[in-house]
Amino acid sequence: MVREYPSHPIVGVAAIVLYKGKVLLVKRAKPPAKGLWSPPGGLPEAGEPLEAAVKREIREETGIEIDVKMPIAIVDVNLKDENGAVKYHYVIMEFLASPLDTKLSSSSDAIEAKWFDINDLGNVRITRSFKLLMENVVNPFLRGEFCNVRAIKNFRYRAVDGYCTLSIYPLNIMPSDKTSF
């Protein structure tokens, strides 16, 4: 599958894996987020259900098994090059999950996998989409508040080799949906 300059958006999955006040992140080995920390994830295979795909991707990127709790948001990442051509376009289903084990190992898609304190991400080089997702969806959910069900639409920022337009569509989850993280 062609990821650079695609003819249509590419569907992806990712999991925000939470454990005892920590979140699991991987340091990306490939563009467009090379060198940045983000939730582990990847692309579903043809015919593979999204929940099965996210479990497989987390296992491949981090070496752990997860319990998928619920879908939490849809993230639309559209990166255009300096000439305005679409260089990358991903539509990612984000899930909340908890680990079934916590011993990590990384793969070729990830330079490193690591647990980070949720309250100490300020100095970590995370992706812009993950930062917005944490601030507007995950953190309110963990505080037992209603999630910001308004979409973050067309947040535009300068990227390394062009411009990115980011939209996050939180799913309507309630604090009562919270399981033990």
94 given a catalytic annotation: no
**pLDDT for residue 151:** 65
Residue whose structure tokens are 């959910």:
141
**pLDDT for residue 57:** 95
pLDDT in tens, 27-62: 988 888 889 999 999 999 999 999 999 999 999 999
- Cα distance between residue 161 and residue 73, in whole Å: 26
Pick from 139, 100, 146: which is nearest to 120 by CA? 139
Question: Is residue 132's pLDDT more than 80?
Answer: yes
Strand partners, 164: 79, 157
43 within 8 A of 52, measured Cβ to Cβ: no
**pLDDT for residue 125:** 94
Averaged pLDDT score across all residues of the chain: 87
Contacts of 156 (CB under 8 A, 6+ apart): 163, 164, 165, 166
Strand partners, 6: none
- Cα distance between residue 165 and residue 181, in whole Å: 31
**pLDDT for residue 99:** 97
**pLDDT for residue 105:** 86
**pLDDT for residue 33:** 86
pLDDT in tens, 137-180: 888 878 877 665 566 777 777 776 677 787 888 876 655 555 55
**Consecutive H or E run containing 158:** strand 152-159
**pLDDT for residue 37:** 94
Q: Which of 48, 51, 60, 112 is catalytic?
A: 112
- Cα torsion angle, 33, 98, 75, 174, sign: negative
**pLDDT for residue 162:** 72
**pLDDT for residue 153:** 74
**Consecutive H or E run containing 27:** strand 22-28
**pLDDT for residue 149:** 53
pLDDT in tens, 50-93: 999 999 999 999 999 999 999 999 999 999 998 999 999 999 99
- Cα distance between residue 143 and residue 165, in whole Å: 28
CATH superfamily of 10-173: Nucleoside Triphosphate Pyrophosphohydrolase (3.90.79.10)
- Cα torsion angle, 137, 89, 14, 130, sign: negative
Contacts of 138 (CB under 8 A, 6+ apart): 16, 18, 72, 96
